[in-house]
Chains A and B, each alone.
Chain A
Amino acid sequence: NAGVTQTPKFQVLKTGQSMTLQCAQDMNHNSMYWYRQDPGMGLRLIYYSASEGTTDKGEVPNGYNVSRLNKREFSLRLESAAPSQTSVYFCASRTGRWEETQYFGPGTRLLVL
Chain B
Amino acid sequence: AQSVSQHNHHVILSEAASLELGCNYSYGGTVNLFWYVQYPGQHLQLLLKYFSGDPLVKGIKGFEAEFIKSKFSFNLRKPSVQWSDTAEYFCAENYGGSQGNLIFGKGTKLSVKP
Contacts and interface: CB of A to CB of B under 8 A. Distances in A.
B58 interface: no
Nearest to B30: A98
Interface string B42-79: 11111001010000000000000000000000000000
Contact of A42 (B32, B34, B49, B104): B104
Interface in B1-60: 9, 32, 34, 36, 42-46, 49, 51
B100 A94 contact: yes
Given A42-B104, A42-B107, A43-B104, A106 B43 contact: yes
Contacts of A103: 46
In terms of DSSP, what is the predominant structure of the interface of chain B?
mixed
A37 to B, nearest CB: 9
Nearest to B98: A98
Contacts of B36: 104
A40 interface: yes
B57 to A, nearest CB: 12
B107 to A, nearest CB: 5
Contact of B90 (A33, A43, A58, A107): A43
Contacts of A96: 98, 100
Interface stretch (A12-20, A44-52, A68-76, A78-86): A44-52
Interface of B: 9, 32, 34, 36, 42-46, 49, 51, 90, 92, 97-107
Interface of A: 31, 33, 40-45, 48, 50, 58-59, 90, 92, 94, 96, 98-107
